[in-house]
Amino acid sequence: MSLWKRQLSLDELNQTSAGTMVEHLGIVYTRMDDESLEAEMPVDNRTQQPFGLLHGGASVVLAETLGSMAGFLTTTDGQCVVGTEINASHHRAVASGSVRGVCKPLHLGKTSQVWEIAIFDARGKRCCTSRLTTATMG
């Protein structure tokens, strides 16, 4: 059974990014199944820090993007989700290619949600683990 209450295609999800930081950083939703949402982000001049590595803040943007959209997908009309806290542990450097974020719920309550976002490099090695807490309003 799917945890998603809203039924949007990947194309529709990607259209929501038009004109936002999500689009600017090149984040693209790539996969959705009954329990998770995934997106990819390039490691390039938009997402690297001055020393040529993936910027930790860009990883956090990817994580919050995934968690916020996943939260939205679990709500119904008249509800919205806002982030209230995020953290990230960076495990390994990434210098090029792309990274893939995989978002899964840890807790889905009536007024709060907690999402874990694991970010992997192109070789499938975990480079970041993030946790996003959201509040459901409406």
Helix (H) or strand (E) holding 37: strand 37-42
Work out the burial of residue 84: count CB atoms within 10 Å of its CB; fewer than 13 is exposed, 13-18 middle, 19 or more buried: exposed
Between CA 119 and CA 41 the distance in angstroms is: 10
Helices vs. strands in the chain: H and E counts, helices first? 3, 6
Token digits of residue 128 = 């970041």
Catalytic residue among 12, 35, 38, 64: 64
Between CA 30 and CA 13 the distance in angstroms is: 10
Query: Would residue 64 show up in a list of annotated catalytic residues for this protein?
Result: yes
Catalytic residue list: 64
